[in-house]
A and B are shown apart, each in its own frame.
Chain A
Amino acid sequence: MWYYEKKLQYPVKVSTCNPMLAKFLIEQYGGADGELAAALRYLNQRYTIPGKVVGLLNDIGTEEFAHLEMIATMVYKLTKDATPEQLKQAGIGEHFVDHDRALFYHNAAGVPFTATYIQAKGDPIADLYEDIAAEEKARATYQWIIDMSDDPDLNDSLKFLREREVVHSQRFREAVEILKEDRDAKKIF
């Protein structure tokens, strides 16, 4: 089971009321390489991956939920007090007419989240390479969002999240090495 702790993993500050940034950030909320997809991907793969790397998938999957909460916090703060006029100008009028200021799991283009974002092949190497690719894609997405954002406080949090993708990728690469080198492997069937 999980326990909730009443704190963010990293202090999130947003300095400007700029709802357009929320439109970009939602990519990492309900997009293909977003934090929800990441959390669900790793936690789902736990059940069928060799025991030596289950702990890693469990723990990175758990950390992804903390990142999801950071993204949600940014979107919440960017839209909380924005007027309908501001939301319209920011290009999220389409979101507003369906959801008001409620968050919704979709990507920056409004495509709803789908389970097809989460691969699970059941082959440990295929799944870990998928995970490494997912981390690199999420890192790239954070780069493009930082390029589009001019809010220094927000970018500070986004750089933290980008760096976490780097570290997770490092660990998944190590997990591949662990499975390659497994010396307990049975040689006789």
Chain B
Amino acid sequence: MNKQMPPEYYQRLEEIQANDFVLVELNLYLDTHPNDYEAIQQFNELSKKTMQLKIDFEKQFGPLMHFGKSFSDYPWNWKDTPWPWQV
């Protein structure tokens, strides 16, 4: 059995990686700039956007997170390959 991920998987994942990266940057920035109102607004808006991106991604490619942070199909598909270091 050797399934390969379609180009769309990489494109959608890249979009999530890009959004999540901005969130990491804003998060670290806010850790030392807790009163920057605009940055907090940007952080909250992007958090909402990334949630939607992940819901769409997971419908097609399975759960991104475990321990109740993502829903599962039947059968249980969290454990499905590929893992991030394999793709």
Interface residues of B in 54-87 (CB under 8 A from A): 63-67, 69, 83-85
Interface residues of B in 37-69 (CB under 8 A from A): 63-67, 69
Please measure, in the bound complex, the distance between the C-alpha atom of A73 and the C-alpha atom of B63, giving whole angstroms. Answer: 20
Chain A-chain B contacts (Cβ-Cβ < 8 Å), number:
63
Q: Which residue of A lies closest to B80 (CB)?
A: A6
Please measure, in the bound complex, the distance between the C-alpha atom of A116 and the C-alpha atom of B10, giving whole angstroms. Answer: 40
Least Cβ–Cβ distance between B77 and chain A, in angstroms: 11
CB pair B32–A7 under 8 Å, yes or no, is no
Q: Which residue of A lies closest to B67 (CB)?
A: A3
Please measure, in the bound complex, the distance between the C-alpha atom of A9 and the C-alpha atom of B28, giving whole angstroms. Answer: 15
Interface hit among A55-63, A89-97, A119-127, A138-146: A55-63
Interface hit among A29-37, A104-112, A148-156, A171-179: A171-179
- Which residues of B have CB within 8 Å of A102? none
Q: Which residue of B lies closest to A72 (CB)?
A: B85
Dominant secondary structure at the A interface: helix
- Which residues of B have CB within 8 Å of A178? 32
Please measure, in the bound complex, the distance between the C-alpha atom of A59 and the C-alpha atom of B43, giving whole angstroms. Answer: 15
- 17 further contact pairs, Cβ within 8 A, besides A6-B84, A11-B13: A3-B66, A4-B65, A7-B16, A7-B17, A7-B20, A8-B85, A9-B20, A10-B17, A11-B10, A11-B17, A12-B85, A56-B28, A69-B84, A69-B85, A167-B25, A167-B28, A171-B31
Residues of B within 8 A of A (CB): 10, 13-14, 16-17, 20-21, 24-25, 27-29, 31-32, 63-67, 69, 83-85
Residues of A within 8 A of B (CB): 3-12, 53, 55-56, 59-60, 63, 69, 72-73, 76-77, 167-168, 171, 174-175, 178
Question: What would be 11 A-B contacts, judged by CB atoms less than 8 Å apart?
Answer: A3-B66, A4-B66, A6-B83, A7-B13, A7-B20, A8-B17, A8-B85, A11-B13, A53-B31, A59-B28, A63-B28
